[in-house]
Amino acid sequence: MQAAHGRGPAVATGIKRVHPDSVVFTYQGDGDLASIGMAEIVHAASRGENFTVIFINNAVFGMTQGQMAPTTLIGQKTTTSPRGRTAAEAGWPIRICELLDTLEGPAYIAREALTTPPRIRSAKKSIRRAFEAQLAGEGFGIVELLSTCPTWWGMDPLEAIRHIDDTMVEHYPLRVFRDRPAAHDRPAGQQEEAGSDA
Amino acid sequence: MNEERRRVFISGNEATAEGGIAGGCRHFFGYPITPQNKIPEYMAEHLPPIGGVYLQAESEVAAINMVYGASSAGARVMTTSSSPGIALMQEGLSYMLGSELPAVIVNMVRGGPGLGNVAVAQSDYWLSTRGAGHGDGRCITLTPYSVQELHNFTAGAFEIADRYQNIVMVLGDAILATMMEPCELIPRREMEPPGRPYAVGPHEAGERERNIVNSLWVDFDAMEAVNIRNEERYARAAAEITDWEEFGSDDPQVLLCAYGISARLCEGAVMRAEEAGVRLRLLRPKTVFPFPTVPIREWSERVDAMLVVELSMGQFVEDVRLAVEGRCPVDLLSRAGGNMPTVSEVLAKVREVAAKAGVAV
């Protein structure tokens, strides 16, 4: 089912309300989810809609060829921030997980990074947990995945991976923000091999 | 089946909402806007107790995309709004036309452009019949003129939407929405299980091919095929469901053309035709897309003139002129902004139109 740009959570709401027993998820980028679809994601999360959101954050509009996204870091050059993003011109990058963590609705919120094998395993675990929350009827789950875009970052793939680990995670800390009914604040990015992912 | 029809005194909004339930709709997504708030309120009251879903969306944009999702999941689904809200829904309407999905949308038209006002208007004729949104796609558009017709047309709209796998727009207005009349209620139809052949949803492995609901066609020919299929739908609809009603002189000198609340007004004018000294007949479309081109064309060869009465600066009149193709003069009486002409003003205009056309009055 192909939704309009940003409307995935509204379309998923419609499907899930017709088929409550089906597993439903959306797959959204950062331009989609954090820009044009901000209202839809916030309200679906707030309603605690029982579906899962996979949120790919690469801090750039990739499909339209490299424009600034709401998640673009300060100083980051894109085709529409050619001198680097400044807060004075374009404001600050938005942290979606932290924003959604202010709501009662979500059951599971985590940010992971697709860089090293341990971090990828951790991401897999978070995705599994978010879907388990849906299967258990606990409600809305979102996993934000920091991902590379070598093409529009102007880097080679290894540089791009290092850029996430060295720079992006400073602004977007890896963390399980919410795991209901389990305990909060499980450290993300290092569940399986704590401390060995550097 | 023992169908004892209950006769009640209700508003157009309530008749519309109950019409949706009668038509088998159990999923409603909406957002408040005057003058149609009684519809979502009615659905919030009545749907959950009978196993239905009422959900207040965060915006009209979200509401129409929830409708898109529910329709793709195979449910009978509707939303209702008023002019500025329908404008916001254009995105979702276009996606549904591109994905060839059914849905029922009710527009209780109010004044515009802009925030306008919440009074009666018929200025969304183009929005409904030329829409929805971008691309080659049209909404089948029904034009009720009473509380009873709001009820019946809304109930029947689901069958039409399913038959053509297309959006059906019910075009009301602020007066029809809020006025109260006696209405005979259609018994509530049971919800159909949401297992449409095109829909996404649960199925056993190997039971059928996986359905994909999509409006993205990168391949030129695939995109054109959708456009052609839609055009074929509209041609079928024109042949099968074009509907109108006529009232008045069998040998008219002037034909009145009006839909919705304006047609109601024109009925009064036809009843008082002798005051104008002109033989008068009313043709009122019940569907404006598909448009009753054929009867209007036929009358254009037999009458001296036509007069269109509408509550906009002239939208519906263009379709009448396209049907007439210059065979007789077509004049326009329009009011806007919440104003309506009186029956006497319609008759005065009829006299003027008749005199201009050389009819002895």
Nearest CA in chain B to A18: B70
According to the model, what pLDDT value does residue B203 have? 86
Cβ distance A40 to B91 less than 8 Å, yes or no, reads no
Residue ranges and CATH numbers for the domains of chain B are 6-241 (3.40.50.970), 244-356 (3.40.50.920)
Complex prediction ipTM: 0.90
Q: pLDDT tens for residues B269-298?
A: 999 999 999 999 999 999 999 999 999 999
Nearest-by-Cβ selection for A10 from B65, B77, B213: B65
Cβ distance B69 to A22 less than 8 Å, yes or no, reads no
Q: pLDDT tens for residues B222-270?
A: 999 999 999 999 999 999 999 999 999 999 999 999 999 999 999 999 9
Cβ distance B67 to A14 less than 8 Å, yes or no, reads yes
According to the model, what pLDDT value does residue A183 have? 40
According to the model, what pLDDT value does residue B5 have? 82
Which residues from chain A sit within 8 angstroms of residue B100, using beta carbons? none
Nearest CA in chain B to A42: B58
Segments of chain B scoring below 70 in pLDDT: 1-3
B212 CA to chain A: closest CA distance, Å? 6
According to the model, what pLDDT value does residue A195 have? 43
According to the model, what pLDDT value does residue A181 have? 65
- For the residues A163-189, what does the mean pLDDT come to? 81
Q: What is the CA radius of gyration of chain A?
A: 16
Percent of chain A with pLDDT over 70: 91
- For the residues A150-160, what does the mean pLDDT come to? 97
Instruction: Spell out the SS3 assignment of chain B.
Output: CCCCCEEEEEEHHHHHHHHHHHCCCCEEEECCCCCCCHHHHHHHHHCHHHCCEEEECCCHHHHHHHHHHHHHCCCCEEEEECHHHHHHCHHHHHHHHHHCCCEEEEEEEECCCCCCCCCECCCCHHHHHCCCCCCCCCCEEECCCCHHHHHHHHHHHHHHHHHHCCEEEEEEEHHHHHCEEEEEECCCCCCCCCCCCCCCCCCCCCCCCCCCCCCCCCCHHHHHHHHHHHHHHHHHHHHHHCCEEEEECCCCCEEEECCHHHHHHHHHHHHCHHHHCCCEEEEEECEEECCCHHHHHHHHCCCCEEEEEECCCCCHHHHHHHHHCCCCCEEEEECCCCCCCCHHHHHHHHHHHHHHCCCCC
Residue ranges and CATH numbers for the domains of chain A are 8-179 (3.40.50.970)
According to the model, what pLDDT value does residue A143 have? 98
- For the residues A85-103, what does the mean pLDDT come to? 97
Which residues from chain B sit within 8 angstroms of residue A11, using beta carbons? 65-66, 68-69, 72
- Token pair 């849906």 in the structure block, residue: A134
